[in-house]
Amino acid sequence: MDTEEEQKKQNSSSPADKDIFERLRKGENIPPNDQQAHRMREASFETKKLLVRMNNATESKEVRDLLSQITGCEIDESVAVFTPLYINYGKHTKIGKNVFINFDCVFLDLGGITIEDGVLIAPKVSLLTEGHPISPDNRHTLVPKPIHIKKNAWIGANATILYGVTIGENSVVAAGSVVSKDVPDNVVVGGTPAKIIKKI
């Protein structure tokens, strides 16, 4: 009987009963009428309080300490971040060692951002793990997909990496590019949409 009742409860529970941030990490779409949708905005404003402090900090250690609070993971002392840096959530961002992030970058990380060791990120780079359906009827639905930047990749100034994209190890994204598809290891890509220019 207990097992049957538990099964009924599981079957009757809607996806909205599960934690919205877990659902986002699993790549589940979030409709605008989701019962927990308000939590995303609330979390963003909590992150903003820390961002204001971080973006006004003048010591690299203070920047790393505040970024550690924002991401919920310790940022290694080998990481250098030139503020301002803008993040809408933070807890879904993972940053490896010897990473350099230059001025004025934007991370929308509800879908998950992984930056591996040795990555270089130039000024005004946007990492956008969130999108929306093309259909006007569903356009306010949030579609989360992770971005993964592998070891020693270099993302050029003002480049935009769209949701669901993996940048391969040692690869270079030319300045001003818009990357909408996965980039293999050891290549240079550029343009809008970005295409392979040459192998390294």
**169, 152 Cβ separation under 8 angstroms:** yes
- Find the catalytic residue in 92, 132, 140, 148: 132
Using only C-alpha atoms, what is the Rg of the chain?
19
Q: pLDDT 10s per residue in the chain (200 long)?
A: 444 444 444 443 455 568 999 999 999 999 999 999 999 999 999 999 999 999 999 999 999 999 999 999 999 999 999 999 999 999 999 999 999 999 999 999 999 999 999 999 999 999 999 999 999 999 999 999 999 999 999 999 999 999 999 999 999 999 999 999 999 999 999 999 999 999 99
Q: What's the pLDDT tens digit per position in 8-25? A: 444 434 555 689 999 999
Q: 167: which 2 tokens?
A: 């940048």
Query: Please, is 65 exposed, middle or buried when counting C-beta atoms within 10 Å of its C-beta (0-12, 13-18, 19+)?
Result: middle
- What's the rounded Cα separation, in Å, for the pair 96 and 117? 5
Provide the whole-model pTM.
0.89
Q: In what order do the strands lie in the sheet with 93-95?
A: 93-95, 113-115, 147-149, 166-167
Strands 126-128 and 130-131, sheet pairing = unpaired
Does 140 qualify as catalytic in the annotation?
no
Q: In what order do the strands lie in the sheet with 105-108?
A: 85-87, 105-108, 126-128, 160-161, 178-179
